[in-house]
Structure 1
Amino acid sequence: MRYWEDFTVGMVMEFGGYEVTEEEIIEFATDYDPQSFHVDKVAAKEHFFGGLIASGWHTGAMCMRMMVDNYLIDAASMGSPGIEQLRWKKPVRPGEILHVKAEVLDSSLPKSRPELGFVKFSHTVLNQNDEIKMTMISSGMFLRDPARKGEEAGR
């Protein structure tokens, strides 16, 4: 189990290998962002982007899946107070393989909730050619490890 104490400022995690399929792009967009350049291959060719692309919200969802699979699934996560910044840098296209670079930017303890701590992350979604597709700065809340209380003095 990973606790607040395990996410130290400067820590970098790299993970992923999520293959984006045309079918998934169309399915997600049909349900949540049915713009022509997300759902119609023919219309997408005539659009500014020159072909089918994933919704930015889909890119965010794929990032979230990789985060869960690679560090949140075994963490004492208590959710998130939100996203500070989200940028879609380049379109995600069918056939790309995405991975994430996550860095811990800050770590803090609230006075009102001594059982948990906040961790601010920078997440960068890249494709197989290391082209940046999306960036996000967000915070997570994690329980503190009862066996290691007091470690914050050296952070």
Structure 2
Amino acid sequence: MQYFEDIAVGAVARFGHYAVTRDEVIEFARKYDPQPFHLSDEAAAATHFGRLSASGWHSCAMVMAMLVEQLRAVEQAGLGSPGIDELRWLTPVFPGDTLRCETEVLEKRVSRSRPEMGIYKSRLTAFNQHDAAVLTMVSNALIATRPAG
């Protein structure tokens, strides 16, 4: 199990593999972000995207799927998140792309009000198959401290 004490500032992790499909892009857009350039090749061709692109929120959801898989793999004693400090969509994500993630731990501290948990801040960058950064975010995570004994 990975606890707060096991998190090192400066630690870098590389993980994930997410194949972006056309059907998933359209399905997500229909339900959550029904802008024409996420739904139609013709509408997308008339925009700066040039072709059908995933919603930025869909990109976040794909990143979250990879992140949760990674946290399960390291058996992290995670307790959720109080939020994101920064989120940037840098490059469009298209059907046919394959995404992966890198994280770097920026800082950490024990909670002042709840000493049984720690808080750490990390920067996540998602890349496509061309190693182009498509998304960055700085997030805060809550994690249990190691139990006594």
TM range (shorter): over 0.9
Q: Does the alignment pair 1:57 with 2:64?
A: no
Q: Which residue of 2 aligns with 1:71?
A: 71
Q: Which residue of 2 aligns with 1:131?
A: 132
Q: Does the alignment pair 1:117 with 2:110?
A: no
List gaps (5 residues or longer) in structure 2: none
Distance in 2, matches of 1:76 and 1:115, equals 11
Please list, as runs of the form range in 1=range in 2, the aligned pairs for 1:1-155 lying within 5 A after superposition. Answer: 1-72=1-72, 74-147=75-148
**Per-residue deviation, 1:111:** 1.8
RMSD between superposed Cα atoms in Å: 1.2
**Per-residue deviation, 1:72:** 4.7
Aligned residue pairs total 148
With normalisation by structure 2, the TM-score equals: 0.95
Distance in 2, matches of 1:58 and 1:143, equals 29
Amino acid at match of 1:8: A
With normalisation by structure 1, the TM-score equals: 0.92
Instruction: Render the CA deviation track for 1:92-123: whole Å, top value 9, x for unaligned.
Output: 00101100000100010122111000010100
Comparing 70-79 and 108-117, the one that deviates more: 70-79
SS in 2 for 1:28: helix
**Per-residue deviation, 1:147:** 4.5
Distance in 1, matches of 2:147 and 2:112, equals 17
SS in 2 for 1:146: coil
Q: How much identity, in percent, do the aligned residues show?
A: 47
Distance in 1, matches of 2:43 and 2:27, equals 16
Give runs of ≥4 in structure 1 deviating > 4 Å.
none
List gaps (5 residues or longer) in structure 1: 149-155
Amino acid at match of 2:24: E
Distance in 1, matches of 2:80 and 2:102, equals 20
Change (3 A) 1:106 1:72: farther
Distance in 1, matches of 2:148 and 2:125, equals 32
Distance in 2, matches of 1:96 and 1:72, equals 24
